[in-house]
């Protein structure tokens, strides 16, 4: 195996030694020796030189009061290893893992496009009009507390100082600071005492922008400009922004009762306040820099014959931003405030800044204009005056309920019992009617009042503060028209983007028909103005049908919707609701974008960035710059040089694979009489509800079973026990049967020539590499009743058979043979994760015995056991990284 980069190994060693010193100071040298003995034994287990039983026996010998600190020790090391790897990735510009020689890059892409006969002007125009929007969401996948994340980010700066220290004295000072930060992390609780509120989640998103993206954006666009100028002789216009950002934080109310209209309004104001504050700091610094006196006639006529015209104008801008901050603070405090100087939109700030920019250029000072001033203009193009535009998401049944109550109140009958055509006739009639559907105040349920209150919040906001209104569980054209009518009823007097979200297999199959019917309605044709956005759900479709069948259904739905929108002469934007894990559409950005159907991108893309993946991609400025480059390059390539459509014989085989896969998946998950019991005994699914990860409940219905469990905890639970079942179940039987039927060469052709299929196989390989079958068996041995163990043995055998056949298909000796960084990262972490698995299994046994039988240890409190269990969850999640 190729060794990890020497500098990365050195940094892991330094951080590990610092943790050892901290633990020794806190708990004594004997405890440090205990941890080291467990680590060495676990490493031998991982290398096949010792058995899991030996490690299990060593952990069984732990005293009750050692369980928590041992769990914390291994969890902290994994967090420190992540910090070292993040630093390495930022330095080497490797934000995601690809096969050797396949790291995407903008300059490389430009050469390839030119070689294909695409002109420089075509490239420039495509970039100038590109519309990519990354939508931050606060799904409960981020385990680490924000205070710890800040400490790990500080470690990054220290590692940079250590690498660049000019002498040994400076290095020793850096090492002292490193140990201080490690000690701070050790003496800080890993687990939140309570769930974050939706406002807390939004503030966390704002912090990513403040601490990373605020610097990354101008740096990235400067690099992009330099490459474009070399290629085309032109730079991007100052108001162009191929990549922008939006957010669901504070707006995603799908099954989250904590997101209310009041919360949405508060987050909207907080977002604008944060933007105004960041610009205020920038303008303050810019004003101190622009002390020159030569100015254009336009600027002089604006401020008069003053000695320092730039400072005078920027002083006015600074005061306007101060008034804007005071206004937003008053709104947040519920106080009235009025000031004619308030800046409401980006144009109010852009106009004076452009006046300064043009003046400097006119007077021969472009080098000054292209400094901080240009950086602020680039930020303004990306973030506007709202920082993040907000999407609102609500489930279609809530809208149907609101309209059913409204029609009952008006004596028109029961909306919910009407046919689809009757609903469409009513909705379009009312949408054309100039009078309001309802009086301002009418008796309705609390749920309906909340829907209407949310619409009223949107009515009071400026258009640039808002993104899209997402309808989850959308099933009919009437679901889109229903939202339009509710918005009209609340006073929204402009078209708002209304986006149906298709999630389950059945919904994806029906999506083309729904969009075709919707775009055929005269009222909607006028409302949508030739543009349509459609969201494709990855999480629930994979949970419903298994990864392979869901992925193919998503592909086919996108193909068909793309064709329908082209037929209606409508500009389509596909919104991909992807998560961090393979089971939720995760994977390297470039591979995922190029795996989309040809013609479905066309310079427009929206995609969610969820939970922990926001930090891994955008948490450090250098990582964020690289992530932005990958997104820009991939969308440009998919637009100008899309992959060819799959051959008919490939589609036929894919249909067979998907059909066999979904039958196999559902035969176990839905039909096997013992599956639910096995799942709940084997995994910490029930205990996950106690882990205060995010503001949203783990289930849509408190009393529901697996069918009501959200996709994130469903995947999280299987990841914790290292079986990764949602990402491979069903795919195994489909692929193995196809190989056994003599389709190996055709499958290899599909991997070579069809990016969609290659991406699926790559992700399957990555998932299989993260599975640890001895740990899986350990959970079974400790937690699963005897009559269920044959099911566990069957699943382990299925995984083992899939690994064998996949290696044969790929003609490899080991998994991830051609993706060394990922393979090495798993290899390095396993000796630290394996003890956490064994500890978790034992803690689950004890916690459950204490809860069900009252058999609690007299030497340890139940809350200590639960905290130790939560720490193991956090540690395993940190070790495996993309857990949700």
Would you state the structure tokens that stand for residue 532, as one six-digit string? 């349509």
Please count the other Cβ atoms lying within 10 Å of the Cβ belonging to residue 446: 6
Assigned token pair, 387: 């920082």
Q: How far apart (Å, rounded) are the C-alpha atoms in residues 578 and 618?
A: 16
Cα distances (angstroms) measured from residue 817 to each of 1, 440, 769, 807: 9, 65, 10, 10
- Taking a C-beta distance cutoff of 8 angstroms, is the pair 810, 747 a contact? no
Sequence length of the chain is: 884
Instruction: Residue 671: count other Cβ atoms within 10 Å of its Cβ.
Output: 9
Alpha-carbon Rg of the chain, whole angstroms? 28
Is the separation of the CB atoms in 675 and 791 below 8 Å?
yes
Pair type for strands 466-472 and 243-247: unpaired
**Rounded to whole angstroms, what are the CA distances from 7 to 13, 92, 162, 863?**
10, 11, 11, 41
Q: At what angle do helices 648-669 and 731-740 cross, to 10 degrees?
A: 130
8 Å CB contact between 561 and 511: yes
Residue 846, CA distances (Å) to 193, 254, 459, 562 in order: 22, 35, 53, 54
Neighbours of 345 (CB within 10 A): 14
- Between the two ends of the chain, the Cα-to-Cα distance in Å is 29
Cα distances (angstroms) measured from residue 478 to each of 364, 398, 420, 424, 681: 59, 13, 7, 6, 42
DSSP annotation of 481 reads H
Cβ atoms of 206 and 269 within 8 Å: the answer is no
Nearest to 726 by CA among 597, 548, 877: 548
Which positions are catalytic? 139, 543
Q: How far, in Å, CA of 826 to CA of 817, rounded?
A: 13
From CA 79, how far away is CA 76, in angstroms rounded? Answer: 5
């Amino acid at each position: 195996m190729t060794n990890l980069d020497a500098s990365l190994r050195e940094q892991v060693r330094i951080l590990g030694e610092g943790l050892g010193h901290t633990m020794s100071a806190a708990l004594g040298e004997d405890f440090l020796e205990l941890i080291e003995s467990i680590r060495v034994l676990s490493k031998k287990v991982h290398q096949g030189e010792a058995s899991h039983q030996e490690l299990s026996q060593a952990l069984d010998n732990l005293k009750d009061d050692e369980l928590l600190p041992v769990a914390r020790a291994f969890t902290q090391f994994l967090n420190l290893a992540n910090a070292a790897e993040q630093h390495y990735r930022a330095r080497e510009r490797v934000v995601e893992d690809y096969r050797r020689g396949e790291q995407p890059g903008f300059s490389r892409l430009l050469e390839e496009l030119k070689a294909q006969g695409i002109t420089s002007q075509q490239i420039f125009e495509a970039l100038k009009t590109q519309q990519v929007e990354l939508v931050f969401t606060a799904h409960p996948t981020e385990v680490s507390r924000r205070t710890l994340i800040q400490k790990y980010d500080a470690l990054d700066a220290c590692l940079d100082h250590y690498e660049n220290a000019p002498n040994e004295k400076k290095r020793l000072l850096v090492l002292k600071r490193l140990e201080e930060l490690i000690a701070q992390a050790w003496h800080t609780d890993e687990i939140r005492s309570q769930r974050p509120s939706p406002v807390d989640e939004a503030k966390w998103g704002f912090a990513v922008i403040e601490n990373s993206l605020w610097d990354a954006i101008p740096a990235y666009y400067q690099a992009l400009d330099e490459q474009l100028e070399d290629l085309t002789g032109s730079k991007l216009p100052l108001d162009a922004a191929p990549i922008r950002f939006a957010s669901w934080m504070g707006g995603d109310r799908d099954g989250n009762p904590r997101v209310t209209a009041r919360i949405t309004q508060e987050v909207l104001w907080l977002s604008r306040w944060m933007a105004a504050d960041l610009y205020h700091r920038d303008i303050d610094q810019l004003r101190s820099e622009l002390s020159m006196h030569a100015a254009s006639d336009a600027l002089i006529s604006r401020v008069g014959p003053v000695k320092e015209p730039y400072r005078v104008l920027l002083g006015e801008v600074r005061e306007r931003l101060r008034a804007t901050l005071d206004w937003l603070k008053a709104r947040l405090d519920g106080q009235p405030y009025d000031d004619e100087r308030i800046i409401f939109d980006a144009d109010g700030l852009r106009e004076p800044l452009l006046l300064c920019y043009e003046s400097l250029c006119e007077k021969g000072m472009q080098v000054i204009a292209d400094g901080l001033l240009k950086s602020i203009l680039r930020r303004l193009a990306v973030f506007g005056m709202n920082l993040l535009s907000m999407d609102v998401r609500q489930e279609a049944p809530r809208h149907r309920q609101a309209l059913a109550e409204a029609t009952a109140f008006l004596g028109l009958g029961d909306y919910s019992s009407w046919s689809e055509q009757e609903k469409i006739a009513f909705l379009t009639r009312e949408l054309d009617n100039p009078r309001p559907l309802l009086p301002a105040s009418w008796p309705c349920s609390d749920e309906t009042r909340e829907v209407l209150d949310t619409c009223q919040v949107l009515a009071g906001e400026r258009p640039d503060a808002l993104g899209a209104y997402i309808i989850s569980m959308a099933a009919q054209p009437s679901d889109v028209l229903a939202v339009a009518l509710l918005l009209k009823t609340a006073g929204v007097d402009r078209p708002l983007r209304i986006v149906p979200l298709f999630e389950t297999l059945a919904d994806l199959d029906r999506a083309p028909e729904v969009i075709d019917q919707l775009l055929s309605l005269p009222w909607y044709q006028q409302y949508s103005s030739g543009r349509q956005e459609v969201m494709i759900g990855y999480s629930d479709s994979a949970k419903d049908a298994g990864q392979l069948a869901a992925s193919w259904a998503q592909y086919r739905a996108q193909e068909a919707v793309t064709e329908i929108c082209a037929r209606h002469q409508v500009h389509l934007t596909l919104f991909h609701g992807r998560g961090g894990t393979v089971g939720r559409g995760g994977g390297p950005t470039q591979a995922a974008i190029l795996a989309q159907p040809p013609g479905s991108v066309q310079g427009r893309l929206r995609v969610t960035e969820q939970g922990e993946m926001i930090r891994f991609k955008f948490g450090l400025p250098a990582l964020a710059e690289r992530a932005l480059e990958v997104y820009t390059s991939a969308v440009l390539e998919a637009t100008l040089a899309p992959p060819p459509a799959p051959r008919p014989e490939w589609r036929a085989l894919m249909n067979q694979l998907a059909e066999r896969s979904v039958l196999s998946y559902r035969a176990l998950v839905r039909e096997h009489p013992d599956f639910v019991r096995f799942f709940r005994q084997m995994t910490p699914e029930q205990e996950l509800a106690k882990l205060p990860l995010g503001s949203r409940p783990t289930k849509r219905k408190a009393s529901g079973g697996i069918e009501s469990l959200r996709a994130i905890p469903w995947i999280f639970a299987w990841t914790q026990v290292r079986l990764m079942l949602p990402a491979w179940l069903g795919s195994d039987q489909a692929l193995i049967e196809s190989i056994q039927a003599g389709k190996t060469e055709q499958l290899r052709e599909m991997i070579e020539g069809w990016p969609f299929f290659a991406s699926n196989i790559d992700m399957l390989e990555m998932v299989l590499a993260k599975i640890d079958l001895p740990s899986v068996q350990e959970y079974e041995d400790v937690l699963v009743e005897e009559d269920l163990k044959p099911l566990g043995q069957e699943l382990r055998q299925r995984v083992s058979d899939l690994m064998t056949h996949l290696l044969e298909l790929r003609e490899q000796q080991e998994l991830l043979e051609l993706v060394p960084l990922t393979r090495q990262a798993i290899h390095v972490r396993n000796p630290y994760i394996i003890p956490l698995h064994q500890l978790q299994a034992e803690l689950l046994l004890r916690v459950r015995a204490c809860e069900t039988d009252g058999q609690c240890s007299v030497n340890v409190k139940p809350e200590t056991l639960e905290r130790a269990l939560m720490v193991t969850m956090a540690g395993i999640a940190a070790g495996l990284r993309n857990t949700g």
